Amino acid sequence: MLVRIGSRGSRLALTQAEQAAELLRGSGIEIAFVPITTAGDRDRTSPFGQIGERGVFVKEIEEALLAGRIDVAVHSAKDMTSDDTEGLAIGAYLERDDPRDALVGAGELRPGMRIGTASVRRRAQLLAAEPTISVEPMRGNVETRLRKMRERALDAIILASCGLDRLGLAGEIGLRLDPELMLPEAAQGALALQVRAGEEELVAHADHAETRRRVEPERACVALIGAGCLAPVAAHHDGTTLHALIADEDGAWVVRRSGDDPVALAEELAGLAARV
């Protein structure tokens, strides 16, 4: 049986696709990789708001899955829309890697630093922690951002720890940021295997139950707040409690709450933000 795996074509995306393939191989299953270029890959300079909402790195891959050109889509779960796409299902979450954000280029946050990131979630929390930091926009794959950091003489950039770990670049990390300081993106660190609805059994054996238990409330909370890619919103389940925040993009205010019910937590945060 041939299973066609679709993913973005970057080195990180293909490394992640190979992780999935290793779990799916066997019992007569052969794997073929199908690299797919997304809107976010085609335009690597414009702010996300100019090229689309949340999902700019998954839409074309989902379209290929719905059209039958691939059988399994491998996504960084944090890149997916908060709501599941009609006709598709997440058949498995692979065991989660480190969900924390990483400070690259420095070992601590200091006043007056120039830090590169395209994420408004990271921007909001950085400025809330230290208003004198200058946050400079930066997009591109991991290698491109590392190069731009050096070319532009930035003090640091922020990347996902898991991506650096998967690429063997953990040595670039100066500090893994505690979620108390920098709450991660919902589902950060997890890989999602997406299939057509009704075909979940194709990948079900690869599902990591504890990762699903934590990631699904994170995604649900963000979806219920109604956040798009540009909204400074975050959610992270530490294994015991779900933590979430909503913020002003310039860090003027950050509202954090913790609880067990993603619906109640989202409603509370949305209500508090409306009154700020």
Catalytic residue among 79, 97, 98, 155: 79
> What is residue 230's DSSP assignment?
T
Is 79 tagged catalytic? yes
Is the Cβ–Cβ distance between 73 and 64 less than 8 Å? yes
Print burial letters for 250-265: b (CB count within 10 Å at least 16), e (below 16).
Answer: ebeebbebebeebeeb
Give the amino acid at 186.
A
Is the Cβ–Cβ distance between 32 and 4 less than 8 Å? yes
The burial of 271, by beta-carbon neighbours within 10 Å (0-12 exposed, 13-18 middle, 19 or more buried), is given as exposed
Is the Cβ–Cβ distance between 33 and 5 less than 8 Å? yes
Beta-carbon contacts of 264 under 8 Å, excluding residues fewer than 6 positions away, are: none
Tell me how crowded residue 15 is: count the other CB atoms within 10 A of its CB.
Answer: 14
Place of tokens 């779990």: 23
Is the Cβ–Cβ distance between 256 and 243 less than 8 Å? yes
Residue count of the chain: 276
> Following CA atoms 119, 57, 165, 246 in sequence, which dihedral angle do they give, to the nearest 10 degrees?
30
Return d(Cα 173, Cα 16) in angstroms, integer. 20
Catalytic residue IDs? 79
